[in-house]
Amino acid sequence: MFEFFLNDKEKAYWNEARDFVKNDISTELIRDMDAGKIETGRPLVEKAGAKNLLGARFPVNYGGRSLNWTAEVAAVEEVGVLGTSLSCAFVMPSIVGEALNLFGSDTLKEKYLKPTNQGILYSAEALTEPRGGSDFFGATTMAVRDGDHYILNGEKRFVVGAQDSDYFLVYAKSAPDAAPHESISCFIVERAMGVTVQSIYNLLGTRGGGTGRLVFKDVKVPIENVVGKLHGAYQIFNRMMIPERLLSGAGAVGMGRAAIEVAARYSTRRKAFGSTINNFQAVSFIMADAVASLDAARSLVFAAARLVDSGGDGRRLVSEAKKVGTESAWMAINNAMQMMGGIGYTTVYPIERFLRDCRLAMIWTGTNQIMNLLIQHEYYKELNRKKGDARDVEFDAISPDEEEKNYG
């Protein structure tokens, strides 16, 4: 962790999160979730809520701490060592809360945001549909107005918390004939309004979160549960992608760090050819690769957090933080397993669980291919904007022959 990045307030929150991870979450909970004996992250949410650790960026009167993104990424890196299911439970109030806090009415904030941050309500987000998750604006879940209600019909899949959440943040087409970016509304839908769960998935990792498919069949949602402007969910979606992706990156870095720490300690004890294996460069250098890559990823996560804290448009850096954070973690966990030889592949050590968990991090909250799509798009835009701002090094070529610059 880069403690030197943090001011006193940020550091205090990071320390609280670290203590929470160390003292309040039992190994038994982690094992039971991985074994599918528990299918909910609610135990973590209740404990973290009681300690005022959830939704830390949100105002104090809505159960938050009025902290910033920098403090949150530092804390989420710590929570990341618990694996993706528990860190997902920890960050969900921050993701759903971003929509409620910035776009929701005071009534919605009082009714949902505050008890969510307090760990009283357990929340989930329902964006992905069986038809596809990457093409968000192609949503086919429909919302049709009926007096002072909307009637929702459709399906969402891969929803963490499908099994046990009290309510869902749901995106649905409310203006199907409008342009895609003006066709979707965002709703708070309580399970009790008639949401049903059709299947809970068997997963490679990230187990125990009750990840399932939701069915909305004539679900009646009161008009006051629309978040933000009708048909204006585009803005909400864009904003929610900051916590989704930034915190995915931060949590993954934590998981990668945890794996490499286990392997590094192992390497100073395990002997081969009469020497501890850390003395073999083949071992210590892949550790160095992982440590350097995680440091680079963490730097990006913090830079993106600082940028968003300062009011900047973090679209490119946030996407990079997600992509680089998750890929560095994947590499670090693989290297950790390699450093440990066969025992790293067994359940004697937690590396295999980190590996199973981490694979998802490159898929959810927008695949890393979708991150590339965003990064290149933003980069070309920036390049265009910056034209003429700085020295054009193209003309420093030794023989800049314009005639030879044939662009086809």
Please, which of residues 356-385 interact with ligand FAD by CB under 6 A?
360, 363-367, 369-370, 373
Q: Which stretch binds ligand FAD (CB under 6 A): 152-160, 291-299, 386-394, 395-403?
A: 152-160
Please, which of residues 69-128 interact with ligand FAD by CB under 6 A?
124-128
Spell out the residues 6+ positions from residue 90 whose beta carbon is closer than 8 angstroms to its own. Answer: 41, 44, 45, 48, 53, 54, 76, 79
Please, which of residues 336-355 interact with ligand FAD by CB under 6 A?
none
Of the candidates 49, 64, 133, 208, which one interacts with ligand FAD according to CB under 6 A?
133
Nearer to ligand FAD, 211 or 293 (CB): 211
Quote the least distance from Cβ 325 to ligand FAD, whole Å: 16
Of the candidates 38, 96, 100, 159, which one interacts with ligand FAD according to CB under 6 A?
159
**Distance between CA 65 and CA 68 in Å, rounded?**
9
Quote the least distance from Cβ 53 to ligand FAD, whole Å: 20
Quote the least distance from Cβ 188 to ligand FAD, whole Å: 15
Report residue 335 as tokens: 């290297």
**Distance between CA 392 and CA 398 in Å, rounded?**
14
The pair phi, psi for residue 171, each rounded to 5°, is -105, 135
Quote the least distance from Cβ 65 to ligand FAD, whole Å: 24
Nearer to ligand FAD, 15 or 367 (CB): 367
Report residue 256 as tokens: 């990668």
What is the number of other CB atoms lying within 10 angstroms of the CB of residue 360? 21
Nearer to ligand FAD, 102 or 373 (CB): 373
Give the three-state DSSP class for 86. helix
The pair phi, psi for residue 311, each rounded to 5°, is 90, 5
Nearer to ligand FAD, 294 or 362 (CB): 362
CB 134 within 8 A of CB 370: yes
Quote the least distance from Cβ 314 to ligand FAD, whole Å: 19
Spell out the residues 6+ positions from residue 400 whose beta carbon is closer than 8 angstroms to its own. Answer: 394
Quote the least distance from Cβ 400 to ligand FAD, whole Å: 36
The pair phi, psi for residue 261, each rounded to 5°, is -65, -40
Quote the least distance from Cβ 161 to ligand FAD, whole Å: 7
Spell out the residues 6+ positions from residue 226 whose beta carbon is closer than 8 angstroms to its own. Answer: 150, 185, 186, 187
Nearer to ligand FAD, 132 or 341 (CB): 132
Nearer to ligand FAD, 109 or 356 (CB): 356
CB 89 within 8 A of CB 44: yes
Q: Which stretch binds ligand FAD (CB under 6 A): 20-28, 153-161, 315-323, 386-394?
A: 153-161
Of the candidates 134, 199, 268, 310, which one interacts with ligand FAD according to CB under 6 A?
134
Nearer to ligand FAD, 240 or 277 (CB): 240
Please, which of residues 162-221 interact with ligand FAD by CB under 6 A?
203, 206, 211
Spell out the residues 6+ positions from residue 195 whose beta carbon is closer than 8 angstroms to its own. Answer: 168, 189, 214, 215, 216, 219
DSSP 115: H
Secondary-structure percent of the chain, ordered helix, strand, coil, rounded to 5: 55, 15, 30
CB 302 within 8 A of CB 14: no
Q: Which position's Cβ is nearest ligand FAD? A: 133
What is the contact surface with ligand FAD in residues (CB under 6 A)?
124-128, 132-134, 158-160, 203, 206, 211, 360, 363-367, 369-370, 373
